[in-house]
Amino acid sequence: MITIPYITALTTYFSYGLLFAFGQLRDFFRKIVDWWSIKNNLQGYAPICLGLEDFYIRRLYLRIQDCFNRPIASPPDAWFDVVERVSNDNNKTLKRTTRVSRCLYLGFAAADEYCTPRVIESLKKFFPSTCSPRIDGGTTTLHAELEERVANFVGKPAAVVFGMGYVTNSAILPVLMGKGSLIISDSLNHNSIVNGARGSGATIRVFQHNTPSHLEKVLREHIAEGQPRTHRPWKKIMVVVEGIYSMEGEICKLPEIVSICKKYKAYVYLDEAHSIGAVGKTGRGVCELLGVDTADVDVMMGTFTKSFGSCGGYIAGSKELIQYLKYACPAHLYATSISPPAAQQIISSIKVILGEDGSSRGAQKLAKIRENGNFFRSELQKMGFEVLGDNDSPVMPIMLYNPSKIPAFSRECLKRNVAVVTVAFPATPLLLARARICISAAHTREDLVKALEVISSVGDLVGVKYFPAEPKKQQLEGDRVKLE
């Protein structure tokens, strides 16, 4: 649980209240002006965009939209080119300029000496797309090899791959669960899980974030009560968690959760979008990191965009489960299959991670991402930032809270050639805006030190250092000399 400082919560509420009040006032006067001046063919129609979400977009998001969706003009390496944008109408619309800033991005990877030549060869052989779903002409030899490699990599008998990570969750859950089933979801699960659960028609209950004791309480209560109205036993129960929570950087308490699910005969669905290929001795995710047998996790999901430099997602499980999904899942039956060059990129990345390319680069990358992540996190905490998450997690959110600090932090960092990802409502709760830092193995210690210097100076300027900074070693040594 995040404990917000009292003064910070008060000022954040006040800022949102001020924005809301002035936004409502402007909407009131706009209605009066529109009633007198605008004559159109939509008289009598209900507004197509209605509600607080539309109000939030118009009156809050558009003011700071230059901090989001920044277009880039180079591969997404440790350093990349950001296309600068300008606005002549108070950020309602943004125009791209010909100016490009070279920025340090705390992100993923680019060209690779082993992967890239093989991807180019696959492009020549298979072309960019299969132009077909898997059940028609969309399954190539690369797709078959990829599914076999993914299954072996995560430690499951079989796997199926999809062209989009988000769809992997949102399309699979409705196939597995339905009316009369119970989904128990972590309160901070990703939106793809939330939408997939809602689309399934199953009863959904939420347990406190990463709290096994509350999960057990929810399970026990709902097993005792049974289905709503009829009180019949549930057809099946599934507990859905993430390996590393994308907005918190926290590692799932998987051993305890698996133990509880075994006790109450509930299935475990594990989303490893941010953990597969990033944590564990050989990059096999939280099961390897925490010593959990993959046989105890019924459905293993992951994506290829983070650690593998590609796109798409996978589901791994028993052969019977995967066979059923291939017959029943719309994302497999109707969506275009994953691009062959993208599939080759994943295959080559797995080979590098496992050392099958004839080098130790995979092991070095895994060690480097742990080292980089832990160094960066500890330095941010020493500076006085409130940083969420656990050690060994490459995701580290810096809490901003106040809505005025979101654009200030993002714009000031960009001026100093450091591009950061700021995240606000609805991706996070209203009061818990943050900047999400994602460390990769591509960053050198010099890159990280430069980023830390910029973030520290901007943190002082914007006022987001909510804790006292630790005194530096030189200062401590000077104090000792004085005492002597």
For residue 48, is pLDDT > 90? no
In this predicted model, what pLDDT tens digit does every residue of 166-192 receive, in sequence order? 999 999 999 999 999 999 999 999 999
Inside any domain, residue 431:
no
Residue 209: CA atoms inside 13 Å, Cβ hemisphere, count?
Answer: 15
Judged by average pLDDT, the poorest of 34-38, 52-56, 197-201, 324-328 is: 34-38
Cα–Cα distances (Å) from 449 to 56, 77, 445, in that order, read: 37, 17, 6
- Banded model confidence at residue 83, pLDDT cuts 50, 70, 90: confident
Residue-averaged pLDDT of the chain: 89
Other beta carbons within 10 Å of 478: 12
The pair of structure tokens assigned to 437 is: 């830092």
Most confidently predicted of 19-23, 89-93, 298-302: 298-302
Domain count, the chain: 1
pLDDT for residue 97: 67
- The answer to whether 161 touches 179, Cβ cutoff 8 Å, is no
Inside any domain, residue 367:
no
**Could you say which DSSP state residue 61 is in?**
I
Q: How far is Cα 93 from Cα 257, in angstroms, rounded to an integer?
A: 47
For residue 434, is pLDDT > 90? yes
Percent of the chain with pLDDT over 70: 93
The CA R_g of the chain, rounded to the nearest whole Å, is: 25
The predicted model gives 52-60 an average pLDDT of 85
Inside any domain, residue 211:
yes
For position 252, which CATH number holds?
Answer: 3.40.640.10
Percent of the chain with pLDDT over 90: 67
In this predicted model, what pLDDT tens digit does every residue of 208-234 receive, in sequence order? 999 999 999 999 999 999 999 999 999
For residue 86, is pLDDT > 80? yes
Other beta carbons within 10 Å of 265: 10
- The answer to whether 405 touches 433, Cβ cutoff 8 Å, is yes
pLDDT for residue 481: 45
pLDDT for residue 179: 95
pLDDT for residue 385: 95
**Could you say which DSSP state residue 133 is in?**
B
The pair of structure tokens assigned to 149 is: 């490699």
Q: How far is Cα 280 from Cα 150, in angstroms, rounded to an integer?
A: 16
- The answer to whether 301 touches 168, Cβ cutoff 8 Å, is yes
* Tokens 């050690």 -> residue: 391
First-residue to last-residue Cα distance in the chain: 44
* Nearest residue to 370 (alpha-carbon basis) of 428, 424, 440, 304: 440
Inside any domain, residue 207:
yes
Inside any domain, residue 85:
no
The pair of structure tokens assigned to 206 is: 């939420």
Inside any domain, residue 139:
yes
Strands (E), 208-342: 237-242, 267-271, 299-303, 313-317
Query: pTM of this prediction?
Result: 0.90
The predicted model gives 410-436 an average pLDDT of 89
Range of the domain at 215: 115-354
* Tokens 């991807």 -> residue: 119
Inside any domain, residue 464:
no
* Tokens 């706009």 -> residue: 30
* 3-state DSSP helix/strand/coil % of the chain, to nearest 5: 45, 15, 40
In this predicted model, what pLDDT tens digit does every residue of 88-126 receive, in sequence order? 887 777 887 665 655 544 443 677 889 999 999 999 999
Cα–Cα distances (Å) from 406 to 13, 85, 351, 384, in that order, read: 15, 18, 40, 18
Inside any domain, residue 101:
no
